[in-house]
Amino acid sequence: MQYMPVWWTSTEVSTPHALTRNMYYGYGALTRGTYNKLDGFSLRCVRYVDN
């Protein structure tokens, strides 16, 4: 079984699609993807900026 957490980014690719960050179990790296916003993922990736 493969686990793949998905985090939304604030980047809209097209009207129904947004850019995501994906992390595959055992892969050791983040990948980028696009998903339809209607898929309903609940997490969003937020960048922290320390002034």
Range(s) of the domain holding residue 34? 1-51
Residue 10: pLDDT band by 50, 70, 90 thresholds? Answer: confident
Residue 46's pLDDT is: 65
pLDDT of residue 4: 72
Tell me what pLDDT residue 2 has: 61
Distance between CA 28 and CA 34 in Å, rounded?
Answer: 20
Q: Looking at the 3D structure of the chain, how many domains does it have?
A: 1
Residue 40 has pLDDT above 80, yes or no: no
Rounded mean pLDDT, 21-33: 80
Contact 15, 36 (CB under 8 A): no
Residue 35 has pLDDT above 70, yes or no: yes
Mapped onto helix, strand or coil, the DSSP state of residue 37 is helix
Choice between 24 and 32, residue whose per-residue pLDDT is larger: 32
Nearest to 30 by CA among 11, 1, 5: 5
